Amino acid sequence: MAALNYKHLHYFWTVAKSGGVARASERLHLTAQTISGQIALFEESLGYKLFNRVGRRLELNDEGRMVFDYADRIFTIGEELEEALRFRPGGRALQLRVGVADAVPKAIAYLLLESALAMEEPIRIVCREGKLDALLGELAIHRLDIVIADSPMPANIDVRGFHHLLGECDTSFFATPDLAKRYKKGFPASLDGAPFLMPGEDAAVRPRLLRWFEKEKVRPQIAGEFDDGALLLAFGDAGAGIFAAPAAIAAQVRRQYGLVEIGRTDAVREQFYAISVERRLTHPAVLAIQSSARDNLVVGSARG
């Protein structure tokens, strides 16, 4: 096979993404005949047909889908590079692309990232939220600089990465004022039979909470389970049940939502990690986050 012709690859990618040669010709400002001829040459150089003709439409075949997947990664990264340069005033702005696992409370994510915003050097943060495994996939192809997670690098995911502990804190329990009147006294025994909002199965703190309940011999009534921390907080704010959150943000939860901290335990530690493809962190903004986390997340009770 001859050396890959990236111009031909771009024509193919545009046709596949646009849904046909006619639309691609409008985007590329070339005639449909020219594009069809270039794709034919591309297929000849690869030794594979990439499209099947179905009536008047072109549909990707198996080989086409594989080539498109690679092309999409290549040109998406290229577009991100153009965007990063466009938003780099005078060549000075630094970009940080960070993924935040949806099990990480939004307030914790901000607590960690605000130190990067406070840097003297101008910085532009690009934030993505999602499931940890999906974010790690983005990290592996360098679409993200780091992923902030509530657990270390999973052993069962085939991604080369390294986790760096940012910090840990105690766990606090919150309720609306009405619920707090009923369940604050006698904590944690008061949790027995109390309505409780449980983090989803992906949350690293969930098994620690369950072990702690067992140790304290309490059985809360599980009123709901939530993969998304923001949704759990919304239900807690509405009075649907008591919920747990990192003690590092206890003051903010009390102030912003008017909720009551009914108790706290150091037996359930919440941990937060930066996951990167680097064994040693080097990005200036990530180093600022790591340094700030040592002060903000070492002991939750210090910020309560």
User: What is the CATH number for 51?
Assistant: 1.10.10.10
116 and 97 housed in the same domain: yes
Looking up residue 143, the CATH number of its domain turns out to be: 3.40.190.290
Residue 196 in this model has a pLDDT that exceeds 50: yes
pTM of the model: 0.66
CB 12 within 8 A of CB 37: no
Q: Which of 82-86, 102-106, 203-207 has the lowest mean pLDDT?
A: 82-86
Residues 122 and 260 in one domain: yes
Identity of the residue numbered 114: E
Using an 8 Å Cβ cutoff, are 208 and 147 in contact? no
In a domain, 282, yes or no: yes
Residue 184 has pLDDT above 90, yes or no: yes
Question: Mean of the pLDDT values across residues 41-68?
Answer: 88
Residue 84 has what pLDDT?
Answer: 60
pLDDT of 299 > 50? The answer is: no
**pLDDT of 211 higher than 90:** yes
On whether both 200 and 80 belong to a single domain, the answer is: no
Contact 24, 35 (CB under 8 A): yes
For residue range 238-288, list pLDDT tens digits in order.
999 999 999 999 999 999 999 999 999 999 999 999 999 888 888 888 888
In whole angstroms, what is the distance from residue 241 CA to residue 56 CA?
A: 57
Distance, CA of 159 to CA of 136 (rounded, Å): 7
Query: 90-94, 127-131, 190-194, 200-204 — which one is most confidently predicted on average?
Result: 190-194
Structural domain total, the chain = 2
| Amino acid at site 13 | W
Same domain, 168 and 82: no
Count other C-beta atoms under 10 Å from residue 75's C-beta: 16
Question: Is 180 contained in some domain?
Answer: yes
Q: Is residue 74 one of the residues assigned to a domain?
A: yes
Residue 79 covered by a domain: yes
Residue 275, domain member (yes or no): yes
Q: Are residues 115 and 188 in the same domain?
A: yes
Tens-digit pLDDT profile for residues 53-65: 887 778 899 999 9
Confidence of residue 298 (pLDDT cuts 50, 70, 90): low
Residue 300 has pLDDT above 50, yes or no: no
pLDDT category of residue 210 using cuts at 50, 70 and 90: very high
CA gap 175, 183 in Å, rounded: 9
**Which is higher by pLDDT, 149 or 304?**
149
- Cα distances (Å, whole numbers) of residue 16 to 12, 35, 68, 70, 142: 6, 12, 7, 12, 23
Q: Counting Cβ atoms within 10 Å, is residue 206 exposed (0-12), middle (13-18) or buried (19+)?
A: middle
Q: Give buried/exposed letters for 223-237 (b at 16+ CB in 10 A, else e).
A: beebeebeebbeebb
Which amino acid, one-letter code, is at 105?
A: P
Q: Cβ atoms within 10 A of the Cβ of 209, count? A: 20
Residue 1 lies in a domain: no
Q: Determine the average pLDDT of the residues in 183-199.
A: 96
Do 77 and 185 sit in the same domain of this protein? Answer: no
292 pLDDT tier (thresholds 50, 70, 90): confident
Residue where a domain stops, chosen among 37, 59, 87: 87
Domain that holds residue 174: 93-303
pLDDT in tens, 99-132: 999 889 888 999 889 888 888 778 888 899 998 9
Q: Could you tell me what percent of the chain has a pLDDT over 70?
A: 92
Could you tell me which residue, 298 or 234, shows the higher pLDDT? 234
* Domain end position, chosen among 67, 87, 107: 87
Q: Are residues 137 and 22 in the same domain?
A: no
Which pLDDT belongs to residue 85?
62
Pick the last residue of a domain from 87, 105, 129.
87
Find the mean pLDDT for residues 170-192. Answer: 96
